[in-house]
Amino acid sequence: MNYKKIFLKKGKEASLQRFHPWVFSGAIAYADKNINEGEIVEVYTADKAFIAVGHYQIGSIAVRVLSFNNQTIDKAFWIKRLNAAYQMRKDMGLDYTDKHSSFRLVHGEGDFLPGLIVDFYGSTAVMQAHSVGMHLHRAEIADCIVKISEGKIKNVYYKSETTLPYKADTGAENGYLIGSDSDAVALENGLKFCIDWERGQKTGFFIDQRANRQLLEQYAKGRRVLNMFCYTGGFSCYAMRGGAACVHSVDSSAKAIDLVNKNMEMNFPSDTRHEAYAQDAFKFLDQMDENYDLIVLDPPAFAKHRDALRNALQGYKRLNAKAFEKIKSGGILFTFSCSQAVDKDQFRLAVFSAAAMSGRKVRILHQLTQPVDHPINIYHPEGEYLKGLVLYVE
Ligand code: SAH
């Protein structure tokens, strides 16, 4: 362990003593010279006691902690952390079966690997770096992913062009670190999904809604379902299997609508209950009739940063108000927010305001969150991002 050193201002070690995995730049008193972005550094208190080792980055989060032990960050370290992540998924019943071949292996801070996302889709792992440190370690991490996967992963696709800090100018390019183009169909609870990690959003699929889709399946029977912001049609496929009378999927992206239609054709060939529309959600809600009795609202993050919070809350209120206005009596509304900057209470207040505007009787049936393969490190509450409410509307 001969990493460069960073020394904190007096008292600034408190959050690290509580295992919070970030060091903010304002907490640093002084540091060794010439620390490169992405380099591994050791962090010391003002009293020169070791407290953490992590990736250095220029910006308000200066260090992302990899370990609170004074250890070398080498292949053995990555293997251990990745194995621990895989073991937790297995312990929770998530692994490859004949019905299932997709889950998130690594969820950043939630798996004690800040800045790293890894999703498994069949024989391909899609890896995303959100920190320069993880970017620099990409080749070593990709090797380790294959090693711990017990022969399941043959390809590792790296997709960090848009997730790395723009100013770091890493020149990162999306592409295969290991293997090459492969079968892009993954199974989720027996349903087939075509996953386009090269051109699709995020790593290609929204794995985080898996458990919430299963819940929706239970309520779909005989209902007329509207899936707004459907992307690849995850909720739509579960609604079809649940016996919905009809399922309408809406997304403003024509590419997403192509994927929904492809997924439907794979799972429910020639089933005329489903129709997809490439349209703006707000326009669709304005123009639609009042015939739906199960509506899903799963919009993209309205607030990517804290300064966008006010507008985001207005956005959630406006969107939900339209659904409350039009949903049939006895209808069920699944409404979500994936904005990290919006907390549970703020989201609930926005939905509450929308309900009040409609004057309808509304009851909360379920309060939803992210699934087990998107764990929240208890010392890093910022990791909680997905919030959902299931509402019964009279
Ligand atoms: N529910 C999806 C994930 C939704 S991601 C799932 O389970 O997989 C958000 C989606 O909203 C994206 O596909 C994006 O194309 C779409 N979108 C963004 N703005 C929109 C708008 N104004 N109207 C309709 N769709 C929109």
Lowest-confidence pick of 166-175, 310-319, 376-385: 166-175
Residue 295: band (very low, low, confident or very high) from pLDDT cuts 50, 70, 90: very high
Residue nearest to atom 13 of ligand 1 (CA): 231
CA 121 – ligand 1 centroid, Å: 21
- The CB-based long-range contact list for 6-12 (8 Å cut-off, 24+ gap) reads 6/31, 6/32, 6/35, 6/41, 6/42, 6/43, 6/44, 6/56, 6/62, 6/63, 7/31, 7/44, 7/45, 7/46, 7/48, 8/43, 8/44, 8/45, 8/46, 8/51, 9/46, 10/46, 11/46, 12/46
Residues 119 and 223 in one domain: no
Q: Does residue 112 have a pLDDT over 90?
A: yes
In a domain, 228, yes or no: yes
Residues 249 and 309 in one domain: yes
The percent of residues above 90 in pLDDT, for the chain, comes to 93
Q: What is the number of structural domains in the chain?
A: 3
Choose the residue to mutate in 104, 197, 231, 298 for probing ligand 1, maximizing ligand atoms within 8 Å of C-beta: 231
CA 133 – ligand 1 centroid, Å: 30
Residue nearest to atom 12 of ligand 1 (CA): 231
pLDDT of residue 1: 64
In a domain, 344, yes or no: yes
- DSSP-assigned beta bridge partners for residue 246: 224
Which residue blocks in 62-129 are alpha helix, DSSP H? 75-91
Q: Which amino acid is at 139?
A: A
Residue nearest to atom 20 of ligand 1 (CA): 252
Choose the residue to mutate in 104, 188, 229 for probing ligand 1, maximizing ligand atoms within 8 Å of C-beta: 229
In a domain, 170, yes or no: yes
Q: Does residue 259 have a pLDDT over 80?
A: yes
| Mean pLDDT, range 46-73, rounded to an integer | 97
Residues 124 and 145 in one domain: yes
Residues 336 and 215 in one domain: yes
Using CA atoms, how far residue 140 sits from 79, 82, 121, 144, in Å, is 10, 12, 20, 6
pLDDT of residue 172: 87
pLDDT of residue 276: 98
Using CA atoms, how far residue 353 sits from 210, 225, 313, 342, in Å, is 28, 24, 10, 15
The percent of residues above 70 in pLDDT, for the chain, comes to 100
Rg, Å, the chain Cα set: 22
In a domain, 37, yes or no: yes
CA 301 – ligand 1 centroid, Å: 9
pLDDT of residue 364: 98
Residues 246 and 351 in one domain: yes
Residue 30: band (very low, low, confident or very high) from pLDDT cuts 50, 70, 90: very high
Residues 220 and 279 in one domain: yes
| Mean pLDDT, range 46-58, rounded to an integer | 97
In a domain, 194, yes or no: no
Residues 381 and 238 in one domain: yes
Which residue, chain included where needed, has tokens 């015939």? Answer: 291
pTM: 0.96
Atom of ligand 1 nearest to the CA of 206: 8
pLDDT of residue 166: 80
CA 275 – ligand 1 centroid, Å: 16
Q: Does residue 64 have a pLDDT over 90?
A: yes
| Mean pLDDT, range 131-156, rounded to an integer | 97
Grouping H, G, I as helix, E, B as strand and the rest as coil, residue 209 is: helix
Atom of ligand 1 nearest to the CA of 298: 1
In angstroms, the CA 104 to CA 116 distance is 11
In angstroms, the CA 210 to CA 215 distance is 9
- DSSP-assigned beta bridge partners for residue 366: 390
CB neighbours (10 Å) of residue 271? Answer: 11
Residues 261 and 366 in one domain: yes
Residues 104 and 243 in one domain: no
Residue nearest to atom 16 of ligand 1 (CA): 229
* C-alpha of 321 from chain center: 26
Q: Which among 290, 391, 327, 373 is positioned nearest to 92, based on CA atoms?
A: 373
Residues 221 and 353 in one domain: yes
Residue 52 phi, psi dihedral angles, 5° rounding: -165, 165
Residue nearest to atom 1 of ligand 1 (CA): 230
Residue nearest to atom 5 of ligand 1 (CA): 300
Using CA atoms, how far residue 180 sits from 123, 161, 224, 304, in Å, is 11, 18, 41, 32
CA 300 – ligand 1 centroid, Å: 6
Domain end marker among 13, 46, 67 = 67
Residues 41 and 102 in one domain: no
- C-alpha torsion sign, points 92, 96, 100, 106: positive
- C-alpha torsion sign, points 343, 349, 352, 353: negative
In angstroms, the CA 127 to CA 38 distance is 17
| Mean pLDDT, range 59-82, rounded to an integer | 97
| Mean pLDDT, range 211-227, rounded to an integer | 98
| Mean pLDDT, range 282-292, rounded to an integer | 93
| Mean pLDDT, range 27-43, rounded to an integer | 97
CA 341 – ligand 1 centroid, Å: 18
User: DSSP assignment of 306-344, as one string?
Assistant: GGGHHHHHHHHHHHHHHHHHHSPTTEEEEEEE--TTS-H
CATH assignment of the domain containing 369: 3.40.50.150
- 270: alpha, beta or left? (left if phi > 0; alpha if psi -120 to 50): left
In a domain, 196, yes or no: no
CA 201 – ligand 1 centroid, Å: 10
CB neighbours (10 Å) of residue 165? Answer: 16
pLDDT of residue 303: 78
Q: Classify residue 99 by its DSSP letter.
A: S
In angstroms, the CA 231 to CA 346 distance is 25
Atom of ligand 1 nearest to the CA of 234: 7
CATH assignment of the domain containing 134: 3.30.750.80
Residue nearest to atom 15 of ligand 1 (CA): 253
| Mean pLDDT, range 263-272, rounded to an integer | 97
Domain that holds residue 63: 4-67
Residue nearest to atom 9 of ligand 1 (CA): 300
Q: pLDDT tens-digit profile of 1-22?
A: 689 999 999 999 999 999 999 9
In angstroms, the CA 283 to CA 277 distance is 12
Q: Does residue 55 have a pLDDT over 90?
A: yes
Domain end marker among 132, 155, 188 = 188
- The pair of structure tokens assigned to 147 is 């090693």
Atom of ligand 1 nearest to the CA of 231: 13
In a domain, 309, yes or no: yes
Q: Please state, rounded to an integer, the average pLDDT across all residues of the chain.
A: 96
CATH assignment of the domain containing 25: 2.30.130.10
In a domain, 198, yes or no: no
- DSSP-assigned beta bridge partners for residue 333: 295, 391
pLDDT of residue 374: 98
Ligand 1 pocket list (CB less than 6 A): 201, 206, 209, 229-232, 234-235, 251-253, 256, 280-281, 298-300
Residues 58 and 181 in one domain: no
CA 350 – ligand 1 centroid, Å: 19
Domain end marker among 42, 67, 92 = 67
Q: pLDDT tens-digit profile of 158-217?
A: 999 999 988 888 888 999 999 997 778 999 999 999 999 998 889 999 999 999 999 999
Residue 105: band (very low, low, confident or very high) from pLDDT cuts 50, 70, 90: very high
CA 181 – ligand 1 centroid, Å: 26
